[in-house]
Amino acid sequence: MDVNQVLEGTLSPDATIRQNAELQLTQAAEADFSGYLTTLAQELANERAQSHIRTAAALALKNAFSAREHARLRQVQDRWLTQVDPNIKTQVKALALKTLSSNDSRAGHASAQFIASIAAIEIPRNIWPELMQTLVNNVGEGADHQKQASLTTIGFICDTDEAELRDSLAQHSNAILTAVVQGARKEETNDNVRNAAISALSDSLEFVRTNFENEGERNYIMQVICEATQATDNRIQQGAYGCLNRIMGLYYDKMRFYMEKALFGLTIQGMKSEEEDVAKLAVEFWCTVCEEEISIEDDNTQAQAEGSTELREYFNFARVATQEVVPVLLELLAKQDEDAADDEYNISRAAYQCLQLWAQTVGSAVVPPVLAFVEKNLRSEDWHFRDAAVSAFGAIMEGPEEKILDPLVKQALPVLIGMMDDQVIQVKDSAAYALGRICEASSESIDAQSHLSPLISALFTGLSSHPKMASSCCWALMNLADRFAGDPGCNENPLSAHFQASVTHLLQVTERHDADNQLRTAAYEVLNAFVTNAANDSVGFVATLSNVILERLEKTIQLQQQVVSVEDKLTLEEMQTSLTSVVMAIVQRLEAEIKPQGDRIMAILLQLLNSVGGKSSVPDTVFAAIGALANSLEEDFLKYMDAFVPYLYNALGNQEEPGLCAMAIGLVSDITRSLGEKVQPWCDAFMNYLLNNLRALSNQFKPAILQCFGDIAQAIGGHFETYLTVVAQVLQQAASIPMTEITYEMLDYVISLREGIMDAWDGAIVAMKSSGKTQQLVPYVQSIFELLHSVYTESSRTEALLRSSLGVVGDLADAFPHGEFAEFYRADWLTAMAREVRSNRDFQPRTQDTARWAREQIKRQIGGGAGQMA
């Protein structure tokens, strides 16, 4: 293999050449991994090689130890640990470290990435303990380019999500800080070195907690960062404000002194910087302050509710700074970029986000400065300030007290509706978005008699006037539909008078020749909201609407023959997804009244499933619509099963598309609940697929599968005996996962898993009781109570888990009414569990009712059984 030629090929713009080169590298690695690493490392360190070849060598080396999937990552890391001779490892690492001193800065930067990939393997295993000290020495004694490359290496090493590496890095905090602080000082004359040091410092902040606890070290770190905000190089300024953001998020409790002495002034100065990227980061510092203070208030409220006296320190930084910071944010709102794309993050949007958070943090205290700005600029001749005034008003809709906002909203609504006719599209769009914010957060201030008609009219006019306004107008209309839905099942609501005209308008918008995908999709989402919230007096029109939507959906199937490009395919699929979602909304609103349309709906949905290709988003929505149809038709859905189950089986077995597979699992639950015992002929296949998926799919799908077992059990009653043994084994195995020493993500999973376990047991208990087969449950009763006790003793318990647990307690007692397991029910913790849940006023009535019923069943068991009591 000519290594230069192959590495050159990996950079080729020609896909065929590039793929062939990558294949050669893969084959070389498989044939002789040690030789592969040695050859590439030598090329990386070769000062005579061209820069791009050295960079390509480093990238290939890094890729040898990288993988997106965790299991694959472990495999490639093990290959380094077990298959490479120690002498080769030493040689390869030495060549990579040598490259850090190269005059070729690109090669040094690329080598830093490779070194970080090896460090991720070796540092947690304490195999390369001298690495950090080597990098520190480079920063202290090396030439500028070596300092920069070494600092970049430290940054790459620290920028990790790997838990083992993160834990290990804390042990190297002194070495890391020595290097990065030395490089970040104002005495460092090379801006590239100082910038690399500030970036590395930002990446390492999480691992220097011990140092940050020391006041002297903390003062020095903060001094270096604050001085860096005054650097002449914008990159260093940005990095410094980025560090301050991270520090505020990590060490809020240590920030009072620094806020008073320096950070208030520095960040306001930064917000006023002419360099937009610096100003954005200074604004984001205050976003972080607000997010932390919102989080602390939430934590303290929860702690007080639980009777805890350990509260987090709260310094009211945002409230204290309101009079200084909010006026600056308001001025920044007026720095809009009229050419910015909708998703572009600029200083004006950063200021808007911060103002929203500020209102949520300080509540009504934000109103006076914002109101003064709005009153001053709402009629400004400069559209930038008109737009800023409208945006500012919308931004503070969440946070201030309702009694403060209500009169302001009532006064502002006619003005904002009028501004939907502004001559400048940006102002019109902001007015629509502000109206949407009002509909979402202050909807009680909208009066149906005086505001609704002009509001709907203005939003539909805006929707038709310009594509840029589509998303804002549609969002406002959806919030409006939710606001005026009335009580479930009401005969009429304030939308009724506008329902037919609104639906007609939306149908026209979706058919416009100039409608792009974004406008069409948004309009269909509004149509869904109107259908979902239709009162009984509009149901007839909903039924008529179904014909229009189904006709359009049929036409899209015919259009599939005309698709010639990827763009055509995406447009068509987006249209099919939108139309199918409207069908689903209609089915859910009409419920059993959809029956006359059932055959036609199902035929079209099956045609869609048959016609779309792989990796499409359409089947997900089709499955959701079929689930809604099954729920509405109940046993009448039976006639569609033979035609539909092949598609359902395919999705259940399609582990390459886990999203679709998850939809199919949920659909099995819907169908079994709808068909009841009539679903039995398909249950063998369902159970086989579900059990296979338990083994093959990732953790996130397992709770839903267990819940599905419970639904199948309740549906087929005593026939579930066939599956009870294997399901019980699965449930007992799942229950054995401990709640201790796990990450937050894992904790959420285990709680969800236990909810699924309880739902499955409850279904099995009800099934066996209804068929007189309760003796089949006897071998599992003890393990069920062991799980219940574990749920009770753990501090992390959700309302849903407690409700499903007490449902099992009650149903199990009901299944054995003669006190066969009374000794379990005499446990004090079980009574305490029912009492605590029943008396918790934060829980829903149905949870309290379940606890009350479980408590009665416990009393019966303790009293000697229902038979004796009778």
Give pLDDT tens digits for 394-412: 999 999 999 999 999 999 9
Rounded distance between C-alpha atoms, residue 229 and residue 240, angstroms = 5
Q: How far is CA 593 from the centre of its chain?
A: 36
Residue pair 263/244 in contact by the 8 Å Cβ criterion: yes
81-94 average pLDDT score: 90
Residue pair 672/638 in contact by the 8 Å Cβ criterion: no
Q: What residues have CB less than 8 Å from 283, skipping those under 6 apart?
A: 271, 329, 332, 347, 350, 351, 354
**Cβ count near 209 (within 10 Å):** 12
Rounded distance between C-alpha atoms, residue 815 and residue 810, angstroms = 9
Residue pair 100/136 in contact by the 8 Å Cβ criterion: no
Q: What is the DSSP string of 600-654?
A: HHHHHHHHHHHH--SS-SHHHHHHHHHHHHHHHHGGGGGGGHHHHHHHHHHHHT-
Rounded distance between C-alpha atoms, residue 834 and residue 855, angstroms = 6
Per-residue confidence (pLDDT) for residue 866, from 0 to 100: 41
The token pair that represents 213 in the structure block: 């606890």
- The confidence band for 427, taking pLDDT boundaries of 50, 70 and 90, is very high
Rounded distance between C-alpha atoms, residue 680 and residue 41, angstroms = 63
Comparing C-alpha atoms, which of 370, 434, 366 is closest to residue 400? 366
Q: Please, where are the H alpha helices in 253-335?
A: 256-258, 264-271, 276-305, 317-333
Residue pair 254/218 in contact by the 8 Å Cβ criterion: yes
The token pair that represents 808 in the structure block: 């099992």
Rounded distance between C-alpha atoms, residue 285 and residue 289, angstroms = 6
Q: What is the tens place of the pLDDT at every residue in 798-856?
A: 899 999 999 999 999 999 998 889 999 999 999 999 999 999 888 999 999 999 999 99
- Mean pLDDT over each residue of the chain, to the nearest integer: 91
Buried b / exposed e along 270-290 (16+ C-beta atoms within 10 A): bbebeebebbbbbbbbbbbbb
Q: What is the tens place of the pLDDT at every residue in 707-752?
A: 999 999 999 999 999 999 999 999 999 998 877 666 667 888 888 9
The token pair that represents 461 in the structure block: 């006019």
Rounded distance between C-alpha atoms, residue 402 and residue 851, angstroms = 35
Q: What is the tens place of the pLDDT at every residue in 692-704?
A: 999 888 888 999 9
Side-chain half-sphere exposure of 20, counting CA atoms within 13 A: 11
Comparing C-alpha atoms, which of 447, 440, 382, 443 is closest to residue 414? 447
Residue pair 670/632 in contact by the 8 Å Cβ criterion: no
Handedness of CA 385, 387, 390, 392 (dihedral sign): negative
The token pair that represents 633 in the structure block: 């038709």
The token pair that represents 304 in the structure block: 């007080």
Per-residue confidence (pLDDT) for residue 444, from 0 to 100: 87
Q: What residues have CB less than 8 Å from 722, skipping those under 6 apart?
A: none
The label of the residue with tokens 């380019």 reads: 145
The token pair that represents 84 in the structure block: 């490479």
Amino acid residing at 346: N
pLDDT at 659 over 90: no
Q: What is the tens place of the pLDDT at every residue in 485-523?
A: 888 889 999 999 999 999 999 999 888 877 778 888 888
The token pair that represents 531 in the structure block: 């259908």
Rounded distance between C-alpha atoms, residue 471 and residue 67, angstroms = 38
410-435 average pLDDT score: 93
Phi, psi of 416 (to 5 degrees): -65, -40
pLDDT at 208 over 90: no
- The confidence band for 865, taking pLDDT boundaries of 50, 70 and 90, is very low
Q: What is the tens place of the pLDDT at every residue in 261-283?
A: 999 999 999 999 999 999 999 99
Q: What is the tens place of the pLDDT at every residue in 445-487?
A: 998 888 999 999 999 988 888 777 888 899 899 999 998 988 8
Residues in the chain: 870
Rounded distance between C-alpha atoms, residue 80 and residue 690, angstroms = 37
Rounded distance between C-alpha atoms, residue 793 and residue 699, angstroms = 24
In order of 746, 830, 831, the CA distances from 789 in angstroms are: 20, 8, 11
Rounded distance between C-alpha atoms, residue 507 and residue 6, angstroms = 57
The token pair that represents 682 in the structure block: 């398909």
Q: What residues have CB less than 8 Å from 418, skipping those under 6 apart?
A: none
Per-residue confidence (pLDDT) for residue 70, from 0 to 100: 67
Per-residue confidence (pLDDT) for residue 742, from 0 to 100: 67
The token pair that represents 862 in the structure block: 């303790």
In the chain, % of residues over pLDDT 70: 98
Q: How far is CA 286 from the centre of its chain?
A: 23
Q: What residues have CB less than 8 Å from 451, skipping those under 6 apart?
A: 413, 417
Q: What is the tens place of the pLDDT at every residue in 624-642?
A: 999 999 999 999 999 999 9
361-382 average pLDDT score: 96
In order of 262, 311, 407, 452, the CA distances from 187 in angstroms are: 20, 41, 57, 64
4 three-state secondary structure:
helix
Q: What is the tens place of the pLDDT at every residue in 232-256?
A: 999 999 999 999 999 999 999 999 9
The token pair that represents 191 in the structure block: 């801006």
pLDDT at 867 over 50: no
pLDDT at 34 over 80: yes
Per-residue confidence (pLDDT) for residue 614, from 0 to 100: 67
